[in-house]
Amino acid sequence: MLGGNFLMKADERFRAAINRKASVMTWSISSFANSPSSSSFRKIVALAKPERKPLSIAVGLLLVSSSLIDFFSTINPQIPLGLSIWQASGLLVLLFTAGAAANASRAMLMRIAGQRIVARLREQMYAASVRQEVEFIEKSEGDVISRLSVDTSVVGESVTQNLSDGLRAVIMSSVGLAAMFYISPTLTMLMLVIVPPVSLGVVFYGRYLKKLSLRTQEAMGEMTKVATESLPALRTVQAFNAQSQEQEKFHEKVMKVLQLARKEAIASGIFFGSTGWSGNITLLGLLGYGGTLVSRGEISVGDLTSLLLYTVYVGNGLQMITYSIYFQSSIMRGVGAGTRIFDLLDRKPAIPPDTGITLDHSRRGIVKFENIRFEYPSRPGVEILKDLNFEIGIGESVAVVGRSGSGKTSIHSLLLRYYDPVSGKVTFDGQDIREFSVDSWRGIIGVVPQDPILFTGTIASNIAYGNPAATREQIEHAAREANCEFVWGMPKGFDTEIGRTSLSGGQRQRLAIARALLKKPAILALDEATSSLDATSEHRVNDAVDKILRSRQTTCLFVAHRLSTIARAERIVVLEDGRIVESGSYRELVNREHSKFRDLMAAQLDAASRQAPSWSQPPSLKPEALQAEA
């Protein structure tokens, strides 16, 4: 009977402990939700919604593990009737083992859920990054990488591990305070005198830490930016013996991060030192006043001892709260990192990639540049193109030439809608290209940049980059057209793994041409596409381009300096200071008096006229042709 009463009371105490914890957690969460940082915090917590099942189980296990300990933390523990001291001890061992298992399971679930949240957040961040306009990413590449790596980890930890630690701290403090009030409300109220000043300190420390954390994350982004700029360009750095210069730049960024970390360390030291001092003074006060109450016979020595033990229990919980990201001081670090992440996730691209009309890949039309004025957003007021007007017919090839800085590459950028003009428009088949979705518009353009980028993977995957559904036969055909015969000489052929710099410049250029040809584009945009090739390879690549031109189905826009490439174009447009100063066929321009084109290409024309006849030259560059034209 007595054993039954003991079990009934134990069950009641166990349920009461869980109810107390649940109410305390609800109050804590709701109170923070009304704080100034609640908007950012709600966004962070929303990331955990897909993991709510494992997180709920983890919180349940947290309650169980804490309650099993609280169950035996009674004020007057007694051994139940019928159990020996060894049997009672064995029962305790079993229950403590169950509590430890629940705590271990809770930690594992929280950790796994946290990693899933970080992985999902990084995917969302990367997706948001690649949809931004080119200038935004190029200007802040290192900062974006820092957000992808560092900030996402901080936010993921704030949602899981530190949230769990915060809940555990609340439970420990709540149960301890309840027991202390039960023993002596007077002494407990004396201890609680410390709570208002400590709470106020947490608020101010948390706000300061939020600002400091945001500045630290930005400084780390700047540090990462320096590394991402210099390491890929290591050949250039070493060629100019600029290692010390780059180390100094990186050192400056590291010292800025260190300076901010030092400020955080000083603030943390002052805060935690103050709270520790306050706790010790409070404990001293409890001992003094508690001793007085014992001498008066108002409480027993056992009660005072139990109360002091619970004070340590509450103190540990409060210490965890001050460290836990769930509360003001540490949560601001997560909010600071989250702010940078959500700034990017919520940012609308200046050129939305998926709005507008979907363009049929088979559609063909005239490309027109109408009254174009253009300046880069990063350089407002500096006009690059001024009153630009020209068109390219279906299947026509046009070469844009001019001195460096005249605006040639900017025309390519406008065609691909990396930027929009300040005024004027680019049209295709009579429609403003801004009416098309960017994705479908770029889908009909094949691009060969001056310095092509190859991605980590096989040669086949790089050629098929713009057309992943291409067959091996189509990939090999495109490679032959672009004179990529070197691929067949490699041990694994098209399955050879390559990186950004594992091939020569000429080889990378030819693979880029093959990649563009495989798309079967309506428009082919080449920016110094043959600049890295020797004469033989250049001729073969130009022959491949000639085949496309002869089909009269692909419009070609060349930006070129090489005479052998320019001479193949049906029409040449000469740029000077962002304006078209001359236009016509190759023959017209070289025969025109006071020709800007002839002045621009004088050195190459003179060299070509002195060369012996070569099968690698187009007919218009043969010495006899040049003499006849002169």
Q: What is the CA radius of gyration of the chain?
A: 36
- What Cα–Cα distance (Å) separates residue 295 from each residue in 280, 283, 299, 300? 23, 18, 8, 9
> Measured between alpha carbons, how far is 513 from 558 in angstroms, rounded to an integer?
13
Report pLDDT for 36. 40
* DSSP result, 561-589: --HHHHTTSSEEEEEETTEEEEEE-HHHH
Q: Which residues contact 57 (CB under 8 A, 6 or more apart)?
A: 105, 109
- Find the helix or strand (DSSP H, E) in which 447 lies: strand 445-448
Q: What φ, ψ does residue 428 adopt, rounded to 5°?
A: -135, 120
Q: Which amino acid is at 388?
A: L
* Four-residue CA torsion sign, 12, 13, 17, 18: negative
What would the two tokens of residue 241 be? 């013996």
> Measured between alpha carbons, how far is 62 from 350 in angstroms, rounded to an integer?
47
* DSSP result, 33-66: HTSTTHHHHHHHHHTTGGGHHHHHHHHHHHHHHH
pTM of whole model > 0.75?
A: no
> Measured between alpha carbons, how far is 289 from 190 in angstroms, rounded to an integer?
9
> Measured between alpha carbons, how far is 534 from 106 in angstroms, rounded to an integer?
64
> Measured between alpha carbons, how far is 626 from 594 in angstroms, rounded to an integer?
17
Report pLDDT for 195. 67
Angle at CA 477, nearest 5°, toward 457 and 494?
A: 25
> Measured between alpha carbons, how far is 56 from 52 in angstroms, rounded to an integer?
6
Report pLDDT for 333. 62
- Find the helix or strand (DSSP H, E) in which 311 lies: helix 301-323
Nearest to 137 by CA among 129, 147, 149, 148: 129
Q: Is 212 left (phi over 0), alpha (psi -120 to 50) or beta?
A: alpha
For residue range 415-454, what is the model confidence (pLDDT) as tens digits? 999 999 999 999 999 999 999 998 889 989 988 887 888 8
Question: Using an 8 Å Cβ cutoff, are 437 and 360 in contact?
Answer: no
Report pLDDT for 41. 61
Length of the chain: 630
Regions of the chain short of the pLDDT cut 70: 1-56, 58-89, 91-92, 95-96, 99, 156-168, 172, 194-195, 198-199, 202-203, 206, 233-236, 238-240, 313, 316-336, 499-501, 531-533, 537, 544, 551-552, 603, 607-630
For residue range 544-589, what is the model confidence (pLDDT) as tens digits? 677 777 766 789 998 888 887 888 889 999 999 889 999 999 889 9
For residue range 496-530, what is the model confidence (pLDDT) as tens digits? 988 665 787 778 888 988 998 888 889 999 887 77
Question: Using an 8 Å Cβ cutoff, are 273 and 252 in contact?
Answer: no
Report pLDDT for 568. 83
> Measured between alpha carbons, how far is 410 from 416 in angstroms, rounded to an integer?
10
